[in-house]
Amino acid sequence: MTESIRRSGEHEYEGPQDPYSQQHVHSAPVNPEWPPPPPYEPAAATVTAPGAEPARQRTRGPIALLAAVAIVAAAVGGGTAYAFQELTGKDTVASAGTTTAVVPASKRGDVAAIASAVSPSVVEIQGTLDNGSSTGSGVVITSGGEIVTNNHVVSGASSIKVRTSDGKGYTADVVGTDSSKDLALIKLRGASGLSAAALGDSSDVKVGDSVVAIGSPEGLTGTVTSGIVSALDRDVTVSTDESQNQGQGDGGQWPFQFGGRQFNGDTGSSTTTYKAIQTDASLNPGNSGGALIDASGRVIGINSAMYSSSSQASSSSDAGSVGLGFAIPVNTVKSDLAKLRSGSTS
């Protein structure tokens, strides 16, 4: 810090001084390394018994300073603790507190400002499958190239290519998957200095909140749509079958169930159900794995499914959003990260 701060213990006194009182006052250096000890009376001499070790003098130094810093970091939590971790060189997820805004307060809810701030953190994912290809999106969560996406985007892929918003291409490896939550973590090879998204708190999301969705529908990288949260805690059931992937080359649609009905095709015999955020922001094939973002620019969900009628599902050219999209809450993502990073492939 360049700001000069007066430490406690540095005093200025301009009034008359008692010449006799100066005999008992300790003079402190102008900028002491540690605060000066308080004034004290001469201590009585101590006698050490023969053979006994003298008492060790307590030392003040870097250990005490580090302990103090650790206590402060634990107390402030959230964004400040993350900043401390970044200073120490740890590649840590940027988890934004509820008061942390990615866009300025004056731009809250401004779709253009949100898109400008968050688009660099959303990528396009292309997976090569035995029976075609899959197209989806992903959210960068660390500057070193960790990306969260849907399990169905990368499931069964023999190779994965990722393109960032600036057009750079990377090869990615699957770190861990969790088909029960339709989540996957991949890592880019040789990536550094990427823009990591700030993860918000989905427990604060309310029906009617403004949201922005960013993804790569039909391979159109960086597509931005907006809307509101239209419902919460929707039970959405998706397939865990590797043969049914989002946006396959044969025109297949990612199937899911809602309200006891099947949409976009047969979900198969292997399925999983999760609680989802419902939004009317336009989602289309290829948006899966992309970001659902609140008015302050924080990621509150991972887009995962879209509704289309049975007639629309007959071909990808006819399919389109009708204002019923679903996203996995970001708190589910955060609670699953340790499992994904451990290499779990459930």
**Residues noted as catalytic:** 152, 182, 288
Is beta strand 299-306 parallel, antiparallel or unpaired with respect to 183-188?
unpaired
Nearest to 310 by CA among 280, 266, 265: 265
What single letter denotes the amino acid at residue 337?
L
Q: How far apart are CA 42 and CA 168, in angstroms?
A: 71
Q: In this structure, are residues 232 and 331 in contact, taking their beta carbons and an 8 Å threshold?
A: no
At residue 338, the 3 state secondary structure works out as helix
**DSSP H/E element including 159:** strand 159-163
Q: What distance in Å separates the CA atoms of residue 251 and residue 315, rounded to the nearest whole number?
A: 6
Length of the chain: 346
Is there a contact between 281 and 195 (Cβ–Cβ < 8 Å)? Answer: no
> Of the candidates 182, 302, 308, 299, which has an alpha carbon nearest to the alpha carbon of residue 237?
182
Distance CA 211, CA 300 (A): 9
Q: Cβ distance 288 to 327 under 8 Å?
A: no
277, amino acid identity: I
The string of DSSP letters for 162-179 reads EE-TTS-EEEEEEEEEET
Q: What is the DSSP letter of 61?
A: S
**Parallel, antiparallel or unpaired: strands 223-239 and 271-279:** antiparallel
The string of DSSP codes covering 99-153 is T--SS-GGGTT-HHHHHHHHGGGEEEEEEEETTEEEEEEEEE-STT-EEEE-HHH
Residues in contact with 10: Cβ distance below 8 Å, sequence separation at least 6, in sequence order? 28, 30, 32
Angle at CA of residue 247, ends 290 and 115, nearest 5°: 25
